[in-house]
Amino acid sequence: MALEVETRGAAATPLTVVGVRTARPLDLAAVRWTLDWNAQANGAYLKASLYLAPAATEGDPEGLPDFVRVQHVGVPPGDRWRHELAAREAGRLRFLDRAGWPADRRGRAPGRVRAQLAREGGRLVYREGDAIRATVDAPDWPRVYVYLTLASHSNYPARSIRVGAVEVRTR
């Protein structure tokens, strides 16, 4: 699946967001996906995200009061990116892992990553390949919607990512 967004001429705020979500909530054990950053010449202010949330929205899941989010964020000024894990509970956003940001602003070279967010005991574990990148207490949500989104700030030409091999495992 490809997600693409063009924001030339768009208002400076809010972000332009495109995406998909599951039609119904799932009793989720794990979700795995492959993200291809698609050789962005300029990935600055580009965000590819996977959300788990107990509620559905037709809009941007960032506006929901409760979610867990894995995000791949473009690092200015060029083609690099970093991951970020965050959770919002009752409207309060907590950053759980920002890949060293803002102290380390280098980011990583673009490419493909095989990622997974899985329940393990009472934890949610985020992996890229076999490496554990972050863990967080698993929210006590019996079922969740899964969202995949792409967001961009204004005044960028069309930019796209590819998401493939999405696997959802239920409990």
Which domains, ranges and CATH numbers included, belong to the chain?
2-170 (2.60.120.200)
List pLDDT tens digits, range 69-126.
Answer: 999 988 777 778 888 999 999 999 999 887 777 778 778 777 888 999 999 999 999 9
Residue 20 has pLDDT above 90, yes or no: yes
DSSP string, 103-138: T----B---EEEEEEEEETTEEEEEETTEEEEEEEP
The answer to whether the CB of 48 falls within 8 A of the CB of 38 is no
Distance CA 91, CA 94 (A): 10
Residue 7 has pLDDT above 90, yes or no: no
- Pairing state of beta strands 92-97 and 112-120? unpaired
pLDDT of residue 108: 79
CB-based contacts of 19, cutoff 8 Å, min separation 6:
3, 49, 60, 61, 147, 148, 149, 150
Q: How far is CA 120 from the centre of its chain?
A: 20
Residue with the bigger pLDDT between 162 and 104: it is 162
Distance CA 156, CA 152 (A): 8
Over residues 58-72, the mean pLDDT reads: 95
List pLDDT tens digits, range 33-56.
Answer: 999 988 877 888 889 999 999 999
Distance CA 56, CA 109 (A): 34
Instruction: Please return the burial class of 129, using the count of CB atoms within 10 Å of its CB with bins 0-12, 13-18 and 19+.
Output: exposed
Residue 28 has pLDDT above 80, yes or no: yes
Q: Which amino acid is at 124?
A: L
What is the residue-averaged pLDDT of the chain? 89
